[in-house]
Amino acid sequence: MSAAIIDGKAFAAGVRGRVGAHVAALKARGVVPGLAVVLVGEDPASAVYVKNKGIQTREAG
């Protein structure tokens, strides 16, 4: 079995593109998807993670 190098950034961009296409299809049918997050505690790393998920969600539509 040989190893394969995966380009994580390119893979993630592809996933985001597919999600964006699905979001557009849902919106065309009158369905507006959203994101809900419950952040418990005050861990700065968790706050950054949630902030970045919000940014990516808006970018996906």
Question: What pLDDT, on a 0 to 100 scale, did the predictor assign at position 59?
Answer: 87
Q: What is the pLDDT of residues 17-35, one digit of tens each?
A: 999 999 999 999 999 998 8
pTM above 0.95, yes or no: no
If we measure between CA atoms, which residue out of 46, 18, 40, 22 comes closest to residue 32? 22
Residues in the chain: 61
Domain ranges of the chain: 8-60
Tell me how far apart the alpha carbons of residues 40 and 36 are, in angstroms, rounded to a whole number.
Answer: 13
Checking if the pLDDT of 61 tops 90, the result is: no
Mean pLDDT of the chain: 92
Could you give phi then psi for residue 50, rounded to 5 degrees?
A: -65, -40
